[in-house]
DNA sequence: ATCCTATCCTGGCTGC
DNA sequence: TGCAGCCAGGATAGGA
């Protein structure tokens, strides 16, 4: 399902078809795609505007608009489960699941297609503000190993639901969380606060490595749904180590991959590589019989 | 604060 | 072969 690597792939593929184009017409085929904005108002905001930049933030696709040389808000899109975006020559048949169409000034059209209708594409006055609640970008500078270690320590919850929380870190979804946790040797139900610095460092490394490798392969195409905008499947699914591999041998240790449900999500992990409890740590002999108390000094 | 459930949706799969 | 029922799942809202 589209996560950060798939959205990045979409952005790279539609960018050349959209940047510099002026929108000439708008057809909304499924009103709720606009997320509450009236179709007439959407059309009014968008028609006559020029797309100046197409970019990605977490799993959102953003297209900045200008009008008469001044800023004119942005198109803000989210593919959710089954959304797709295409820029094609006029007359191209987008099929029965087309939800929104924009006519461009070069006899081409932008199409938003979405079987399950969960996806959204709307107009916002201020994209930065609309996205302000998101956590750091996992491939960005703000997402450092030190930040991750500290942020995990400060939370009560379990590891996987936290990594799926877009306000904690923005862009990971079910597939890449399972993959990154396996590569890090961390159990999805580990208490976030129990993750030690060295483990957080490994997790940070593996999250980035997983996402980077997936982007390089144009994302993952799973079941019949996700395709790149060119209709090509991504190729990263061939690299899955645990996702949807329950019952199959772990690529590292040959133990059977298990599937459990965590936070309503199918969760795949290797019981051997990802032990529930932290690996026993060589700790210094407990010389003081009592645990040292917190300093009596107030912070 | 965190967890849990329901909601939004449809195609595809399972089991009869 | 037909069909009912269940499932997947990103994000969010509301309740415990």
pLDDT digits (tens, 9 = 90+) for A139-184: 999 999 999 999 999 999 999 999 999 999 999 999 999 999 999 9
pLDDT digits (tens, 9 = 90+) for A181-224: 999 999 999 999 999 999 999 999 999 999 999 999 988 876 54
How many angstroms separate the CA of A146 from the C1' of B10? 43
Check whether residue A161 has its CB closer than 7 Å to nucleic acid strand B: yes
How many angstroms separate the CA of A111 from the C1' of C6? 31
DSSP 8-state class, residue A275: -
The residue written with tokens 């959710």 in the block is: A80
What are the two backbone dihedrals, phi and then psi, of residue A259, each rounded to the nearest 5 degrees?
-125, 125
Contact A143, A204 (CB under 8 A): yes
Mean pLDDT of all residues belonging to chain A: 88
How many angstroms separate the CA of A214 from the C1' of C11? 23
- Residue A290's pLDDT is what? 44
- Residue A280's pLDDT is what? 63
Q: What does pTM read for this prediction?
A: 0.90
Q: Which residue has the closest alpha carbon to B4 C1'?
A: A263
Dihedral (C-alpha) A66, A118, A233, A136: value to the nearest 10 degrees?
A: 60
Residues of chain A with pLDDT > 70, as a percent, come to: 89
Residues of A with a catalytic annotation lie at 2-3, 59, 265
- Residue A289's pLDDT is what? 41
Q: Is A272 left (phi over 0), alpha (psi -120 to 50) or beta?
A: alpha
Dihedral (C-alpha) A99, A18, A38, A227: value to the nearest 10 degrees?
A: 30
Query: For strand B, which residues in window 179-198 of chain A come within 7 Å by CB?
Result: none
How many angstroms separate the CA of A61 from the C1' of B6? 27
For residue A164, which nucleotide's C1' is closest to its Cα? C10
Element (H, E) at A18: helix A4-18
Split at pLDDT 50, 70, 90, the class of A294 is: very low
pLDDT digits (tens, 9 = 90+) for A82-112: 899 999 999 999 999 999 999 999 999 999 9
- The full set of domain ranges for chain A reads 4-130, 145-269
Split at pLDDT 50, 70, 90, the class of A228 is: very low
pLDDT digits (tens, 9 = 90+) for A238-287: 899 999 899 899 999 999 999 999 988 999 999 999 998 876 655 544 44
Q: Is A166 exposed, middle or buried (0-12, 13-18, 19+ CB in 10 A)?
A: middle
Query: For strand C, which residues in window 245-264 of chain A come within 7 Å by CB?
Result: 264
- Residue A278's pLDDT is what? 75
Residues, chain A, total?
A: 299
Check whether residue A161 has its CB closer than 7 Å to nucleic acid strand C: no
Q: Which nucleotides of B are covered by protein (CB under 7 A)?
A: 1-6, 8-13
> Considering the domain A145-269 in this protein, what is its CATH number?
1.10.8.50
- Residue A279's pLDDT is what? 64
The β-bridge partners of A109 are A88, A103
- Residue A288's pLDDT is what? 43
How many angstroms separate the CA of A165 from the C1' of B1? 14
> Considering the domain A4-130 in this protein, what is its CATH number?
3.20.190.10
Residues of chain A with pLDDT > 90, as a percent, come to: 78
Q: Which residue has the closest alpha carbon to B5 C1'?
A: A264
- Residue A299's pLDDT is what? 32
Long-range contacts of range A289-295, CB-CB < 8 Å, 24 or more positions apart? none
């Amino acid at each position: 399902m589209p996560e950060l690597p798939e959205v990045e792939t979409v952005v790279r593929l539609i960018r050349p078809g959209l940047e510099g184009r002026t929108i000439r017409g708008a057809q909304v085929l499924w009103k709720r795609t606009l997320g509450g904005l009236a179709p007439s108002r959407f059309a009014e905001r968008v028609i006559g505007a020029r797309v100046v930049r197409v970019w990605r933030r977490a799993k959102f696709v953003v297209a900045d608009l200008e009008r008469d040389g001044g800023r004119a808000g942005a198109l803000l899109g989210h593919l959710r489960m089954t959304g797709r975006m295409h820029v094609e020559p006029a007359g191209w048949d987008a099929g029965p699941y087309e939800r929104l169409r924009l006519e461009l000034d070069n006899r081409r059209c932008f199409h938003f297609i979405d079987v399950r209708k969960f996806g959204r594409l709307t107009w916002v006055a201020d994209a930065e503000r609309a996205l302000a609640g998101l956590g750091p970008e996992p491939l960005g500078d703000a997402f450092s190993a030190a930040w991750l270690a500290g942020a995990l320590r400060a939370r009560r919850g379990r590891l996987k639901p936290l990594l799926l929380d877009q306000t904690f870190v923005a862009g990971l979804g079910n597939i890449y969380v399972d993959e990154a946790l396996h590569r890090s040797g961390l159990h999805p139900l580990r208490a976030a606060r129990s993750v030690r610095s060295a483990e957080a460092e490994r997790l940070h490394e593996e999250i980035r490595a997983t996402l980077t490798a997936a982007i390089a392969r144009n994302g993952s195409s799973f079941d019949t749904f996700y395709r790149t905008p060119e209709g090509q499947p991504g190729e990263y699914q061939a690299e899955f180590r645990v996702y949807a591999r329950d019952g199959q041998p772990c690529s590292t240790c040959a133990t059977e991959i298990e599937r459990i449900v965590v936070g309503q999500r199918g969760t795949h992990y290797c019981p051997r590589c990802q032990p529930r409890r932290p690996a026993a740590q060589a700790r210094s002999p407990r010389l003081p019989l009592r645990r040292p108390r917190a300093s009596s000094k107030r912070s």
